[in-house]
Structures are given as C-alpha cells and as structure tokens.
A and B are shown apart, each in its own frame.
Chain A
Amino acid sequence: MNNTTLRLSTSMGSAFVAKVEKVSGQKLLACYQCGKCSAGCPMAAHMDILPNQIIRMAQMGMQKQLLASKTIWVCVSCLTCNSRCPKNIHIAEVIESLRQTALNNGQRDDRLKIWEMTPEARSDLPPIAMISAMRKLTS
C-alpha cells in the first residue's frame, strides 16, 4: 500500500500566518474544508472569495490576495459560520484579523471614507449604523 502525504501548507510558520493565528486566536490547520461556513453564509453572494477559501488561503499564507479581497469587507461578523463549524474554528475572527491587518498598515487606509458621505446621508442613518461601520471599517 502506498502512503500519500497530504501537504496542507507550505507557509505555516510564516510571520503573516503566525499573526493571523495569534490575533484571531484560531488554529488554521484544524480546517478540513467541509465548506459548511460558506454554505450558510448570508453574505456569500456578495463575496469574491468564500469563507472556506479564506481559511485555505490563510493556511497557505496568501497575504496579498487575502488583503486585496472584497470578502474581508463584506463579512459583517454575523457569526453563523462560527456557530456551525464542526471543528469549532471561529472563521469570523480570522476574517477580522485580516481586516485589522489591512486597516492597521500605518497608512490610515480606511475602507469607509466618512468625509465622502453627504451630511444628509449621515444624518439619515441611525447612530447604531454609523458607529458599527466606523468600528469595523476604519482604523
């Protein structure tokens, strides 16, 4: 019988992967790609990379692609993926760590540009929307 080695990652141990694991508090290699997170994600239709793919790419240390993805801004931390993951991985925490990495790059590269909104648009929105958007999408 032949033995097959399944190569999970070439980049575990890179500084980026270590940071994602530390900030998210998650063990990325626990994921076995069942896809349940993406199957139940209410935002999946608006994403360019699905949640299970985010985890795989994080295992692979694909920093550039992950930080340029639309997905990290589309995820609103509804935590449906977390509550259904059979391996108890908190996918939303992994995505938050990516969002924070993109925001805290020393450039004040905010995703939400409050100053571009009209005063009317700002005052139409309830405080709860403005505050949560600023907490999630600005550095």
Chain B
Amino acid sequence: MKLIYYPGCTLKNSARNFDTSTVTSMAKLDVEIEELERWNCCGTVHALGSDNVMNRVAPVTNLIRVKEAKATEFMTSCAMCYNTLKRANNDVKAHANKLNTINEFLNLEETKYEGDVEVRHLLEYLRDRVGFDKLAAKVKKPLKDLRVACYYGCLLVRPKEVAFDDVENPMIMENLITALGATPVNFPLKTECCGAYHSVGSPEIIADRTDKIMSSASEQRVDMVVVSCPLCAYNLDFKQDDARRLNPDFQHMPVLYFTQLMALALECGEEALGFDLHHIDPLPTLAARGLA
C-alpha cells in the first residue's frame, strides 16, 4: 500500500527543496509515496478559541481526501501542517458536535469525515515504520565529521497531545542525524520559538530570535542547523542579515531541512537538494567536510 503524502503550500513554493528531498529520500528507502489528490491548505495555525469551528474546515477537508484515497493514515514532513492537521483531527474526534457541524457545512462532499484518519509526521514514520537502523543501512555517503544542531521549534513538541517525543528534550532528530553518520550536538534552544509569523509585521522580533537561536547553536561549534518547518527555515536562514545588524558578532550559518541531509546521505542527486533556494549557501560548509 502506498503512503499518502501531504506536501502543503510552502513545499510547493519557496520550500520546494523540502518537497523534493522528502520524495526522493523515501524512494531510496523503498517507501512508495503518493501525493494526496486535491489537497488544500491546512490553515497553517490551529485556532485556540473553543468556539472556533470554521478554522477546522480546511484540515478536515484534507482528512476527507485521505479517506477518498482509501487510506487510514497519511504523512507530512512540514511541522506546521502536521501540527494543524493533527490538532484539528484530535479536536473533531473529541467533539462530535463540532464534527457534525463541519460535515453539515461540507454537505456537497460525497464523503463524511468520521475521525477515521491518522496524521503522521515524516520523522515519526521514519522512526516507527522504516526504523533508523534500516535508514543507517541504506546510507551511501555517511555525513562524517558534520556537526549538526537539531532545531525543533514549537510545532513538533507542543502541545504534548501531538508530540511524538519528549516535550522539553526531544531526541528524534538527533537519532536520525546519527543514523546518517553525522554528529548531533546538545543545543539548549532547540525547542524555543523562532518568532513564527512575526516576519510579516515585526521583523525586529525575528532578528532577535534568529540571533539568540543561531548564536546558541554557534556556541556548540556546529556546521549547520537542521529544521522541519519552512517558517523556522525562512526566519533562521533569510533573517540572518538582520541578526547581524543587531549583533556584530553574529556568525552566519546554513540552515537545512532534515530531509536534505537524508537526500545527501542517500545520494539522491543534486536536483533533490535544491541548495539554490537557500539564503546562506550550504555548499562551502559541505565542501569543507568533503561532502559536496
């Protein structure tokens, strides 16, 4: 059975390298994936108000599409999509009245959602279904001597109902990085928020967050920071010049998706890596480690 894959809007736009590295890596791991048909935006954020049903409609429509693909689970690699889809799913499963309202609102849909689909994040799928030992066995180019800081941000670990690892000290990404032959380092700010959508209206907040988070990683003498969220990636990579203006000692450093490191170690080819989409070019760092 094919694994249904939900890419999300940003992976088809500015984070195309997150999409291509996900798809090619999974092929190398012999997992057949199929992009969900007629998927729509998840809404990006979970509305926290108890009276908000409208913002659940977009995620639930995707869950209906998964049912129509005759699947009971699907995978996404975007942390923000994962969080929004999973929380909406949990919410409608727990509140039959909300689910009923949404199904009535979506009365032109042929399929009714009945809480019968599960949302998985790619990291979770790799750990529980593929296995990091199998991943390690498939590595063609071990990422030897590469020191990596794994940044989780908010959405993979909070709230605890959607977390698939420890809320305060998750290690799943470090374990994946180890399977690829690289060296993960302890990184105290790995679950501290990057400032998220403040890049739209309050760039001064993002400059401060990027400085704090990236500088904390720098102190561990790492080569790069690895993420699972296109918004974290944008803030931590593209806002480094703003961080430098705030802090003259700021050290520029590449920010990669964990799937790009997988694609590199599994030798998925240059096209899958999409390094041209980065602000801070990862190539000099990788070349210095004999990996590019």
Please count how many residues in chain A sit with their CB below 8 Å of the partner chain's CB atoms.
37
Chain A residues near B198 (CB, 8 Å)? 74, 76, 133
A93 touches B49 (CB 8 A): yes
A20 to chain B, nearest CB (A): 11
Taking chain B's interface residues, is the majority helix, strand, or loop, or is none over half, making it mixed?
loop
A7 to chain B, nearest CB (A): 28
For the complex, is B165 an interface residue (Cβ under 8 Å from A)? no
Q: Which of A43, A100, A127, A130 has the most CB of B within 10 A?
A: A127
Chain B residues near A76 (CB, 8 Å)? 193, 195-198
In the complex, A34→B147 CA distance in Å? 38
Q: Which of B191, B193, B200 contacts A130 (CB 8 A)?
A: B200
A126 touches B15 (CB 8 A): yes
For the complex, is A15 an interface residue (Cβ under 8 Å from B)? no
- The 0/1 profile, CB within 8 Å of A marked 1, for residues 58-80 of chain B is 00000000000000000000101
A88 to chain B, nearest CB (A): 11
For the complex, is B209 an interface residue (Cβ under 8 Å from A)? yes
The verdict on A129 contacting B9 (CB below 8 Å), with A93-B49, A135-B43 known, is no
CB-nearest residue of chain A to B232 = A128
Chain A residues near B230 (CB, 8 Å)? 126, 128
B77 to chain A, nearest CB (A): 13
- The 0/1 profile, CB within 8 Å of B marked 1, for residues 11-50 of chain A is 0000000000011110000000000000000110110000
Chain B residues near A25 (CB, 8 Å)? 50
A42 touches B209 (CB 8 A): yes
Interface size class of B (residues with CB under 8 A): 35 or more
- Chain A contacts with B in 96-139, Cβ cutoff 8 A: 96-97, 100, 111-112, 117, 125-133, 135-137
Q: Which of A23, A83, A92, A112 contacts B50 (CB 8 A)?
A: A23
In the complex, A71→B205 CA distance in Å? 13
The verdict on A100 contacting B195 (CB below 8 Å), with A46-B208, A79-B159 known, is no
In the complex, A104→B43 CA distance in Å? 19
Chain A residues near B9 (CB, 8 Å)? 127-128, 131
Chain A residues near B51 (CB, 8 Å)? 22-23
In the complex, A100→B50 CA distance in Å? 11
B160 touches A96 (CB 8 A): no
For the complex, is B10 an interface residue (Cβ under 8 Å from A)? yes
B208 touches A132 (CB 8 A): no
For the complex, is A68 an interface residue (Cβ under 8 Å from B)? no
Chain A residues near B158 (CB, 8 Å)? 78-80, 82-83
Q: Which of A82, A83, A129 contacts B197 (CB 8 A)?
A: A129
B154 touches A78 (CB 8 A): yes
Q: A residues touching B (Cβ–Cβ < 8 Å)?
A: 22-25, 42-43, 45-46, 74, 76-80, 82-83, 90, 92-93, 96-97, 100, 111-112, 117, 125-133, 135-137
In the complex, 20 of the A-B residue pairs with CB atoms within 8 angstroms, ordered by the A residue number, are A76-B193, A76-B196, A76-B198, A78-B154, A80-B193, A82-B159, A90-B48, A93-B49, A93-B50, A97-B48, A111-B201, A117-B200, A125-B199, A127-B14, A131-B9, A132-B197, A133-B200, A135-B44, A135-B45, A136-B45
